[in-house]
Structure 1
Amino acid sequence: MKDSKNKNPSGVHDLRSALELLKRTPGEYVETHVEVDPHAELSGVYRYVGAGGTCQRPTRKNGPVMVFNKIKGFKDISVAIGLNGSRKRVGQFLNCEPEKLGFLLKDSVEHAIAPIEVSADKAVCQEVVHLASDDDFDLRKLLPAPTNTEEDAGPYITMGLCYASDPDTHESDVTIHRLCVQSRDELSMWLTPGRHIDAFRMKAEAAGKPLPISISIGVDPAIEVAACFEPPTTPLGFNELSIAGALRGHPVEMVQCKTINEKAIAHAEIVIEGELLPDVRVREDQNTDTGRAMPEFPGYTGEAKAAIPVIKVKAVTTRRNPIWRTTVGPGEEHVNMAGIPTEASILDMVERAMPGKLLNVFAHTAGGGKLLAVMQFKKSAPVDEGRQRQAALLAFSAFPELKHVILVDEDVDIFDSDDVMWAMQTRYQGDVDTVFIPGVRCHPLDPSQDPKYSPSILQQGMSCKTIFDCTVPFHLKEHFERSKFKEVDVKRFLPDFE
């Protein structure tokens, strides 16, 4: 539905309306009716078309979204990939200038609107119901979950919005996790340490009970982005769906699941209903023995985990002729979905400590939206010298998985890597402008975080966080002024210039 106050002029409220918007936007949408194999081929195609990010080169940055209409081995289902694969598209979906998305997300956290429950007759996600108790039920034949590469542990659900609740407080959380199809009715689930759903799972497991969980696939892009917030910005008990509500100006609609005591996103294309089983673990690559999981955001294939939790699937509900939603793990989609909430978290933390000094933040593509932030800081007086490094320290607190911060002045375009590298070459001296913070927890998927890599790393998952201060010392500012060109109206010479 479109908000009556026109908070959402894009009209985007689910996956289908997002695709329709892109179809009307030149260069943002492509589709094919050529049959594609979901095993490695589908992702192999999109790697060239528009994966971007940290994906193996050659790839294309800011390529279009792509829809595959004919999937080998499946009928009446299509696959959409790359929806959030450009910052410009995310801006279109959220009615915001791409450079201001971090600020929009920050404001949405502060003006959260809680989700609401609707009746089953209003939930398009339940138009078709497949029960796991049926003899012909088989996730592997029902859902075209792809493998990103030929060495993946199995078919992966990469864009499943996992929704579960605390067994005691009933506070809910939504997050995207790595889910591998293991059998006709089982999924493995890898939860990185500290995730809230894992806290719920451990609490249920301690009581010897399963944890009900719904997995909504193919939803409003606003939800996909909002779900990627992390603590401390969204602490335990904060439902990230309320951020999506603020982005749209109305609550996200939820519906009671058919077979479990949990809710799902009512407009989703597909919902998987299941339970996280207590004290049951499975080897992630038990069906392939590859030793590999799937390509992750740093650009490397993660190792298959030896023992991770299992979801026992009870049912799958869908829209008629549903659209499966997937992504390439190291692609630009991850950069935007993870990175824009990272920016919002840093902006919020630093603004509260030193108002008006941090002008903007970019969670850079090279770090997959998590490991690297470029921060644009303004020094207005001699007393501001040193505060830029304090801002960097606050950024590490705002987003604990952040590894590197590059600080630049207000005249540097943080979204232009060439400009950032220019600042590093002309405003940085390694011996005085580098700050090392060794022995700190970071993100476990960074392969350099290993004791074999550095003697300063005591165990896997620790890192040396680093600040690269590429700002000009305040007392030398007049010696570092960029050449100034005359301001002109280019359109007088080139009317169609953009």
Structure 2
Amino acid sequence: MTRRGLADLRTALAGLDPLPGELVRVREEVPARYGVTARYAGWAGTPAPPPTGPGPAVLFERVTPGGGGAARSVLIGLYGSRRRAAGLLGLTPGEMAHRLLDAVASPVAPTRVPAGRAQPRDVLAPDLTALPVPVLTDEDAGPYLTLGAVLATDPDTGVRNLSVHRMCVRGPDRLTIWMVPGRDLEAAHRAARRRGENLPVAIHVGLGPALMLASCCPASLVPADVDELAVAGALGGAPVELTGCRTVDTDCVAHAEYVIEGELLADLAPENPDGPSATPEFLGYQGRAHPSLPTVRVTGITARDGAILQTVSGPGHEQSVLLGFGMEAAVLGRLRRLGAPVKAVHCHTAGGGQLMVVVQWRAKRSAADDRLVREAGVSVLEEFRMAKLVVSVDEDVDLESDADLWWAMVTRLQADQDLAVLPDREGFPLDPTQSTSYSATLSADGRTAKAHFDCTVPYAHRARFHRPRFTRPEPAPDRPPANRPAPDRAPPSRPAPVGAPANRVV
């Protein structure tokens, strides 16, 4: 896989196909209701309930829609490991945050495809029930678009926004949409309502990796006046190509697998009229349905020939990876602006890619750096609402190894002096502990106690924490070098095998 822009989802899949263990194709027919996620659950990874572990991308080639109709393809797990997700852009996980910061600093504006060069698209009936939108569990409110990237333009500022939101199919031409408060799409929707207008939207299902990763970046990384499409262009190395929608006055990405055209209305509707549950959330718990959400009226659907509907399974590595890379870049950028000697940032999938932040520090140069590490760690907790735990480690700790992180926690931390607790801070209510019913010390639901674990070696004691280094013996001069074992990690441009021993057809 090269670093050059991946034009579409199929380019990404074509790059995985020859790599053993990276892509499993399921040829047998499965239902959209429970069939996709039940088969994928063993590969979803934490925080999905055990037993599970990260695995391959899985392409179900014949998924039958809940509303009847022809079987269609569904993809899940493309971003199911940090290594594969970064490898799709020719990068390592450690390089992703730096590339995202560069892309935000030097965006590449999208371009319009001339009418004569536009890729042919099938025009489908505006009927969501004819699409293979999965239902994850028997508690779900209905089928959910979990990777629907919404493109809309703020009528006041003229700035486009591309962002992913939870959308439940409530009828052939109706979706409820939950916009996390403070997101740019919510601001654009409010601007349209003030004008007495509906907001035209294009919902994309099945985009290339550069677009998908850019759409998941937090507002703390991408300023409100910066177009996520331009960030994706810089990240992928080529401008994103746009074309006009058929039924609403807005643009869409030319190479999307599906484009669901519609209007974001002022009308409100319950997410689940029949019960309290929504769909599993990225922190690992069944989500609670919102009693009143904005709705989208679908006016048209277009698709590529043989379109692939891409989805994620609520809790699991995939959603956490998508959220984590942007958060890493945002934290890294802030610490750089503070002048802190930060080397890398890793947003752990156990915290949904948002709540647990591991910061790796460069070698300390004086005792003053002990205080700097602690102050900077606390500043991350104060600046980023989602961050609940920050763990600071040294350069000799492998950020991608859970065992190494726990080792640093055990051998480089004394809780009475290396743990800082910040009580009653703004948090994120999808964490069930962040409620007054759980903790009487919280002033309101959605607030939390935060903690910084300083697992760095104090400067004065650095000589006592020296890790051994094992040296390979030099080969005898009269003998050729012995065959060396394969490296633990594959080169960034070629993801290492995971999951299945070879690409399989099931």
2:62 maps to: 70
Query: Partner amino acid for 2:48?
Result: C
Contact persistence 2:221–2:327 (CA under 8 A): no
Q: State the shift of 1:119 in Å.
A: 3.2
Distance 2:394 2:254 in 1: 45
Distance 1:64 1:218 in 2: 17
Q: State the shift of 1:441 in Å.
A: 1.7
Identity value in percent: 38
Query: Partner amino acid for 1:67?
Result: L
Number of residues paired by the alignment? Answer: 479
Q: Which range moved further: 488-497 or 415-424?
A: 488-497
399 and 121 in structure 1: CA distance in 2 versus 1, 3 angstrom threshold: farther
Contact persistence 2:143–2:169 (CA under 8 A): yes
Q: Secondary structure at the match of 2:268?
A: strand
RMSD: 1.9
Distance 1:412 1:275 in 2: 49
Distance 2:402 2:474 in 1: 26
Contact persistence 2:3–2:91 (CA under 8 A): no
Is 1:96–2:88 an aligned residue pair? no
Find 1:22's aligned residue among 16, 28, 43: 16
Q: Secondary structure at the match of 1:385?
A: helix
1:240 maps to: 228
Distance 1:367 1:487 in 2: 38
Q: Deviations over 1:114-135 (max 9, x none)?
A: 22222344443x6111354xxx
Q: Secondary structure at the match of 1:219?
A: coil
Is 1:42–2:36 an aligned residue pair? yes
330 and 212 in structure 1: CA distance in 2 versus 1, 3 angstrom threshold: same
Contact persistence 2:3–2:89 (CA under 8 A): no
Give unmatched runs, 5+ long, in structure 2: 488-506
Q: Secondary structure at the match of 1:449?
A: coil
Find 1:144's aligned residue among 132, 148, 164: 132
Distance 1:495 1:364 in 2: 32
Q: Deviations over 1:355-397 (max 9, x none)?
A: 5x11111100110101101111122222212111222234335
Q: State the shift of 1:53 in Å.
A: 3.0
402 and 120 in structure 1: CA distance in 2 versus 1, 3 angstrom threshold: farther
Q: Which range moved further: 87-96 or 292-301?
A: 87-96
Contact persistence 2:71–2:132 (CA under 8 A): no
Query: Partner amino acid for 2:156?
Result: D
1:311 maps to: 296
Is 1:375–2:376 an aligned residue pair? no
Give unmatched runs, 5+ long, in structure 1: 133-137
Q: State the shift of 1:104 in Å.
A: 1.6
1:264 maps to: 252
Q: Secondary structure at the match of 2:103?
A: helix
Contact persistence 1:179–1:187 (CA under 8 A): yes
Distance 1:41 1:297 in 2: 20
Distance 1:488 1:440 in 2: 54
Distance 2:208 2:135 in 1: 24
1:285 maps to: 272
Q: Deviations over 1:417-451 (max 9, x none)?
A: 11111111111111111111222222221111110
Distance 1:240 1:398 in 2: 22
Q: State the shift of 1:347 in Å.
A: 1.1
Contact persistence 1:359–1:376 (CA under 8 A): yes
Distance 2:106 2:372 in 1: 29
2:279 maps to: 294
The 5 A counterparts of 1:166-177 are: 166-177=154-165
Q: Which range moved further: 190-199 or 478-487?
A: 478-487
Contact persistence 2:397–2:404 (CA under 8 A): yes
Query: Partner amino acid for 2:389?
Result: H
Which structure is richer in relative contact order (CA contacts within 8 A, separation 6 or more)? Answer: 2
Distance 2:194 2:443 in 1: 30
Distance 1:166 1:346 in 2: 27
Q: Secondary structure at the match of 2:108?
A: coil
2:462 maps to: 477
Q: State the shift of 1:160 in Å.
A: 0.7
Is 1:358–2:342 an aligned residue pair? yes
Distance 2:332 2:456 in 1: 18
Find 2:52's aligned residue among 39, 45, 59: 59
Distance 2:161 2:438 in 1: 36
Distance 1:169 1:99 in 2: 35
Q: State the shift of 1:76 in Å.
A: 5.4
